[in-house]
A and B are shown apart, each in its own frame.
Chain A
């Protein structure tokens, strides 16, 4: 021991070492567990697989409902789910594929679902309405336009991807 004033006392040194060893033990125990728990967050975001939905020549200016099924994998649980979309060509001959899920509380809307509004999407649950382009009719319960599906066309077939919110609120 030098004559100099000690920078770290024996007790301090032991305390630091104890903290260090304790920290090592805690980290060694918990590191695998934490990684285990947060695994879903670190999974790469699933790219919306495009699913064949309809033939292009089936699509008219009038919205039609197309249903398709897709395999859904939820961890170890695989199931088949049915999805649907309202598809039409707008005045510029562009394809529009709208999600049928009402933005109010998630009921299913249908085109001309109410005799009083033949040119609108109608939600039977709370009389929510949307214009043909998916915009919500002001004054009805929904607060946002219908989601729109991403799509691509290949060899005369329409493929739909994920439904994305159209502008407005996230």
Chain B
């Protein structure tokens, strides 16, 4: 039955080459932990992607309960964590995933760096990777505020004070981020929410797509 559906679609759309290109590409021995256990260092990138998927899914589900409003943000987080079945786990996955994704990115970066895998012809992919790192840090920074608890509020105040300290454009940057020149409040929360949920993920998806396309095009770096 499935085969028939597949053939029906394939006859009309010719989907086989699309996935065959990904499925059939060769994986060399030196990245395969089954042959050489030290090759587990090549898993860090894949695991980063895996945690990113966890983050996207758990984040999507969290917005079913969360409201970005200073009166209700904290209550909604408290509610979803204490009253909703498995709320503790879903929020826990998003919270710890944020830390784990940074750790994995860090390890992946170190692997690429110490293997010199960023050298010609892979300079561009290295830059895209570093940009992904920045985006992840930005996601961490903006996501930290969203529960609107004391920790979130005061950490954001400090962050915005640092932004304000930049010469010439500091105050502008701060106002742009906070939505108000002096108050860290309702407008800050909605801004951080928009950045965390729409702007940065959009940039992240675009960069990740480039990252993966470049890997497929160039192939993984050879053995040392």
Contacts and interface: CB of A to CB of B under 8 A. Distances in A.
In their complex, do chains A and B touch, with some C-beta pair under 8 Å?
A: yes
Interface of A: 37-38, 40-41, 43, 45-46, 72, 74-77, 106, 170
A145 to B, nearest CB: 17
A77 B185 CA distance: 9
B175 A75 contact: no
B128 to A, nearest CB: 23
Interface residues of B, number: 15
A117 to B, nearest CB: 27
B180 interface: yes
B186 A46 contact: no
Given A40-B181, A45-B181, A74 B176 contact: no
B196 to A, nearest CB: 15
A118 to B, nearest CB: 31
Greatest chain B CB density within 10 A among A46, A72, A75, A76 is at A75
A43 B179 CA distance: 10
Nearest to B199: A37
Contact of B176 (A38, A45, A77, A106): A38
A40 B179 CA distance: 5
B152 interface: no
A45 B182 CA distance: 10
A107 to B, nearest CB: 12
Nearest to A169: B165
Given A37-B176, A45-B181, A75-B185, 11 more contacts: A40-B178, A40-B179, A40-B180, A41-B172, A43-B181, A46-B181, A74-B180, A75-B179, A77-B186, A106-B157, A170-B165
Contacts of A46: 181-182
A40 B178 CA distance: 9
B185 A74 contact: yes
Contacts of A75: 179-180, 185-187
